[in-house]
Amino acid sequence: MTAQHGGIVRGLAAAGKDPNLQGAKFGRLFPSLPAATYGETAKEEEDNLAALAKAMVSEFDPPKDGPDEEESGIPALYTYFGQFIDHDLTFDPDSSFQKQKDPAATVDFRTPAFDLDNVYGRGPGDQPYMYADDGKSFLLGDPLTMGSKNARDLQRNAAGRALIGDPRNDENTIVSQLQGLMLRFHNAMVQAHPDKQFVHVQELVRHHYQYVVVNDFLPRLVNASVLDQLKTDGSYDKTKLKFFTKFAPPYDTPFMPVEFSVAAYRLGHSMVRPGYRLNDTVLLPIFPLPVDVEPGFPEGLTGFRRMISDWAIDWARFIDIEKRSYGVLKLDRAKKLKLEEEVQNFRRLQFAYRIDTALVDPLGSLPLSVAGNPPPSLALRNLMRGREFNLPSGQAVAKAMGVTPLKNEDILIGQGVDGAKGLKNIVEVAGEAFRDNCPLWTYVLAEAMHNHASPDPAIPVLETMTVSTPQLGPVGGRIVAEVFLGLMFADPGAYFSKNPGWTPGEGKHYRLKDLVATALAH
């Protein structure tokens, strides 16, 4: 989800334009590829992109937490963990739709590293109001009720704005409470290591986070066949990176490729559900719904305000910290039977929607509070942003990577549910402008629909349901994986560089659920 922001969180000196992108904060993986165009005039291009965007938005579906054929095998929290990672890596405050973008002149006001600067800000020396008197622990906000034990809102000023490293981590209820979990995880590390200085605890937290990114988040999104190409004897190998290094600046000046930030990593928009159940009593749409559309949902998950006290998240509904059924049982029957097992079935684990060429209806008409400038469709915003940055087509990128491009008839638009019939291809739904000329963002999503992972045996699934999980393929997956790994290798403070064999104390199978469990215990 996107939002407007009034100020720069933190600045990095802007470098001048340079044809080799030396010193630029944004750059290109494939600078020699021509920009894809979609019409003879700007108006024709916008009309064609609007037609594609419209086809990529699903029909209205009310918020629900029961089994859903659009669900993947990826627990719902990973959608918002992906958003959290994005806020750690990138922040471009200038998103004008009125001018062409030159990546070499566009500055990333976020360090391109997995360093949690969206959590730590400028540190206790420069932002002491974020920290407790000990100079090491984070201050937390008001207590929350209903969901999980010890739940707290973020610390806020008198206007209700969160006092955190990156204001965007308060733009919706879920990422806001995830930010709170990261603060609590840091505090748990302070408590577990009372003799360590702040910088040492900070490094320990960063390494746990980086380990989860590489060993849990990345394999859930990217097909194993892609990741295996980047390994030697089972470990990631810097020499196997072919695209993030070939045209990149030296490793001491890492940059953010626009093919990643403007296209491939926007995969998470397709994973958003129309709504989420936060706890036993609160089910909310992502945005408030008008009464004439769906009565009973005047509130949404929108943020930048004090958290309502009974909106505390039951995290086992979002991540598999407990064994919960994939199915659902109506609460009235559960109460009648008075069986704890049946009640647990009601409190089901929600899953992210599949990575495919479909966005839920609310993302097709963003409210003014989220998108104050046109267009209101997130799908169209993504497509227009790719055009304004002169991104090449997905087919052109595939050829440059040595991958056989998808055929037009294989670029299907819509929900990639099991047994889906009647999906039309991109040319059928949006016209000849897209023949052999698919926007890179749409191409990455369409490619995922042809790359499925096996269901995770650790997640209980009803016998009557088959869960397919589309994953990023040889183009989208390779871009995301190479940028993630390249930034890790480029960072001298990352565990990849300081101690490549490092694992958390809990062992090599440490996952996001373990980080969440530690935070919740604090």
The string of pLDDT tens digits covering residues 361-418 is 999 999 887 877 889 999 999 999 999 999 999 999 999 999 999 999 999 999 998 8
Question: Residue length, the chain?
Answer: 522
Q: What is the pLDDT of residue 117?
A: 92
Mean pLDDT of 203-215: 98
pLDDT band at residue 356 under the 50/70/90 scheme: very high
Over residues 306-328, the mean pLDDT reads 86
What is the pLDDT at residue 454? 72
- Find tokens 């990593």 and name the residue: 265
What is the Cα–Cα distance from 236 to 238, expressed in whole angstroms?
7
Q: Which domains does the chain have, with CATH numbers?
A: 26-520 (1.10.640)
Q: Which pLDDT tens digit goes with each residue over 319-333? A: 999 877 666 545 455
How many other β-carbons are positioned within 10 Å of the β-carbon of residue 252?
7
The per-residue pLDDT for range 226-238, each reduced to its tens digit, is: 999 999 999 999 9
Residues 6+ apart with CB under 8 A from 243: 29, 30, 401, 478, 479, 482
Strands 256-257 and 26-27: parallel
**Regarding predicted confidence, which is higher, 421 or 401?**
401
* pLDDT digit string, tens, across residues 44-102: 999 999 999 999 999 998 998 877 889 998 999 999 999 999 999 976 544 333 334 55
Q: What average pLDDT does the segment 7-22 reach?
A: 27
Rounded (10°) angle between helices 378-388 and 42-55: 140
Listed residue (449, 448, 426) closest to 437, CA to CA: 426
Mean pLDDT of the chain: 86
Q: Is the confidence at residue 339, as pLDDT, over 80?
A: no
pLDDT at 203: 97
Q: List Cα–Cα distances, 10 to 2, 90, 254, 442, in angstroms.
A: 19, 11, 17, 31
